[in-house]
Amino acid sequence: MPEKSAPRLWEQHCCLPLLPSADITELARYPLGSYLSVNVGYSLHSTADSLALLHRFRREALADGRFHLVESFGDAWPATPRDTLALAFDLEDSAPLGGDLDNVKVFYDLGVRSLLPAYNFANAAGGGCLDASDTGLTAYGRDLIRTLNEVGMFADGSHCAARTGLDIAAVTTAPTIYSHSNFAGVWAHPRNITDDQARACAATGGVIGINGVGIFLGHNGPDERAARVAAMADHIVYGVELLGIDHIGISSDFSFDGDQFNQEIADNPESFSAEFTRWGPIQWTPPEDLLGRSEVPGLDEILAGRGFSETERAALFGGNFARVAARVWR
């Protein structure tokens, strides 16, 4: 499909290396006019670590000239000029808050628009998807969700355990999201979410972003690039049939730090599990495969072939996340 007719992209989560050596210009692989949310920390990061990364990414984005930093919803959508990239940030664990809920506002003021309570394993806020047992949100975790609502930041259930995700939906007074989570009903991986989690998210008015990570799609071979894109479409179809089209988005979780991340899994096995290593080095779906700018059929083309109209694809690729951001962000 010609790029000029492709839908505008809202990428709710992607990753640069969480290192001073990160090159923010890598993000220009996304189509100009896109909204991007970039990770600035997870369970291994302190408040100081994540703030240092955040300040560095902001400084370098402004110096580059192809980015503009998101302060309000209008900066992100739909007014994003087609010759720039709207840039915001997210946190993949509550650890970078350092136990101080006032830091939610600190991060929000620097462009962080999404936070998930627990990355894979239990912490002070709640349970992770790789825990043997799940006791749900803690009292602190419930206060965290209320604070996210008050500040205007997405409460994100990705990487959390099932009961913790259900508790997020029960506590929140604003739409919640699963920024980058696939469906266990399509591929039974512990990082994928149950139908009950999905329905609870949708009941808040929220959106689930389908990711392109090989181990969460069941197609992790280096030669399965096209199969990964097709599997993303399978999850989208499943989600639309389960919840309706208003509650599904795209959030590829592409890691520009893929080699570093695979090494980090090897170096910090306590933060992951055999479910992350049994299929070999993790493979990702790159930005070029979303809107048909590579040698494999793009996700937009595949969805069109499965009967999704231009209007429906526009909702999936950006409109649905934009709608809930307009409700949640302050």
Q: What are phi and psi of 290, to 5 degrees?
A: -80, -45
Structure tokens at 308: 């999704």
Quote the strand ranges of the chain, DSSP E. 10-14, 35-39, 67-69, 85-91, 112-115, 154-155, 177-178, 207-210, 248-250
Span 246-259, mean pLDDT?
95
Structure tokens at 73: 């919803």
User: Residue 151: its pLDDT value, please?
Assistant: 98
How far apart (Å, rounded) are the C-alpha atoms in residues 116 and 204? Answer: 16
How far apart (Å, rounded) are the C-alpha atoms in residues 197 and 159? Answer: 12
Q: Does domain 3-328 have CATH number 3.20.20.140?
A: yes
278 burial level (CB within 10 Å; 0-12, 13-18, 19+): exposed
Q: At residue 21, does pLDDT exceed 60?
A: yes
Categorize the per-residue pLDDT at 125 as very low, low, confident or very high, splitting at 50, 70 and 90.
very high
Reported pTM: 0.95
Structure tokens at 88: 């915001």
CA 279, 166, 239: angle at the middle one, nearest 5?
A: 60
Pick from 4-8, 20-24, 179-183: least confident: 4-8
CA within 13 Å, CB half, 193: 33
User: Residue 5: its pLDDT value, please?
Assistant: 61
User: Residue 267: its pLDDT value, please?
Assistant: 85
pLDDT tens per residue, range 132-145: 999 999 999 999 99
**Pick the residue with more confidence: 92 or 294?**
92
How far apart (Å, rounded) are the C-alpha atoms in residues 197 and 278? Answer: 26
- Exposure string over 108-117, b if 16+ CB within 10 A, otherwise e: bebbbbbbbb
Q: In terms of DSSP bridges, do strands 67-69 and 85-91 run parallel, antiparallel, or are they unpaired?
A: parallel
Q: Give the residue extent of every domain in the chain.
A: 3-328
Q: At residue 107, does pLDDT exceed 50?
A: yes
Q: At residue 100, does pLDDT exceed 70?
A: yes
Q: At residue 2, does pLDDT exceed 50?
A: no
Span 261-289, mean pLDDT?
88
Q: At residue 269, does pLDDT exceed 80?
A: no
User: Residue 117: its pLDDT value, please?
Assistant: 98
User: Residue 284: its pLDDT value, please?
Assistant: 97
Q: At residue 196, does pLDDT exceed 70?
A: yes
Categorize the per-residue pLDDT at 80 as very low, low, confident or very high, splitting at 50, 70 and 90.
low
User: Residue 4: its pLDDT value, please?
Assistant: 43
